[in-house]
Amino acid sequence: MKIGLFVKKAALRGDVRLGALLLRLKKGGHEIYPIAERSDLQDGTDIVLSVGGDGTFLSASRRVEGTSVPILGVNLGRLGFLSEYSPEEVVEAMENGSWSVENRTLLQAFLPDGNIWPYALNEVTVHRRGAAMLGIRVSIDGNMLPTYWADGLVVATSSGSTAYSLSVGGPICMPDAKVLIIAPIAPHNLNVRPLVVPDTSRITIGVISRDPMVTVTLDNRTAEVPSDVTFDVRMAQFSLGRVRLSTSNFVSALTGKLFWGEDIRNNTV
């Protein structure tokens, strides 16, 4: 098997656990080569190993744009929902062939600034830059919602439901749920709630602001755009392949990493 290796943080390259992982894979007959940029991805690559945390996984997604090469997240970071697997788990799965590929929805933001990669795996957000709140006009397939008055707005995929969307009160969705989440950031309307819509929806966003510029983020990338911007967010025409180990379980990840449902009464059931 031909494996691309993406390590964003230089300090991790000397990690003992990573070294042991690579040694085992090479002994198993796998070819491994490093990737830094999209142009480094070689023909015939079967898998890209993303080594670090979820931020590294998001960066790795850009390196496989437009290909069918899936990403396997090796967790040498902190929490890790996308990069959830330890080096030891990865070695065992690669040796036993106990893994599969799941397709994750990507978002595409149609921004006037063409200098930013327009795709996001977790979320697209718009934020205020100054102290004043934003008025955020949102329509879904041409149907206008009441204006959100808030610090910003998150449009998230089901993959991103455990990321920024969760921190602003959005729902948790199973990764294979075909939905998008629209959630305000620190809303000044007490009667607004996150909204779940089909992932086929065309979401149009406009902004009312006293400031000349607002911030738009796509996962871990940022752009400054004029505050009179109007742009669409839609499901991209291609998905991202993520390697899932057979031992993986989303509910177990929620309880183990986010302590979901942690309650002393549950320990006696």
Active site residues: 54
Backbone angles phi, psi at 26, to 5 degrees: -65, -40
CA distance to 13, 27, 64, 72, 149, per residue, from 30 (Å): 19, 7, 19, 15, 53
**Closest by CA position to 129, among listed 66, 196, 213, 192:** 213
Backbone angles phi, psi at 63, to 5 degrees: -75, -15
**Closest by CA position to 182, among listed 231, 125, 225:** 125
Which residues pair with residue 140 across a beta bridge? 143, 203
